[in-house]
Amino acid sequence: MDIVYSKQAAKSLERMDAATRQRVRQGIEGIPNGDIKPLQGYSDGRQRLRIGKYRIVFNYVTVDGKTALYIMAIDSRGDIYK
């Protein structure tokens, strides 16, 4: 499955230190396994993945007839839901 990052998610990933970046990428590549919960209040199927103090908000989209994992946002627990 293809993984597509939003501009904000890609920038967040770039700002992380190498060890955290690798841990987050491994978590993203391991989807659908992990601590995943659907987000309430959204009708587009958004879900969140918890990796330590970080949260990854994602959903599935169709790109060129194939399903892709779209990473919408990556941020710390206190800032992601604002």
Question: Domains in the chain: how many in total?
Answer: 1
In CATH, what number is assigned to the domain containing residue 53?
Answer: 3.30.2310.20
User: 32 is in which domain, residue-wise?
Assistant: 2-80
What pLDDT, in 10s, does the model give residues 15-36?
999 999 999 999 999 999 999 9
Q: What is the mean pLDDT of the chain?
A: 95
Asked if 69 and 82 count as a contact pair (C-beta separation under 8 A), the reply is no
Retrieve residue 35's tokens: 């601590």
Length of the chain: 82
pLDDT at 49 over 90: yes
Confidence at 13, pLDDT banded by 50, 70, 90: very high
What is residue 39's DSSP assignment? Answer: P
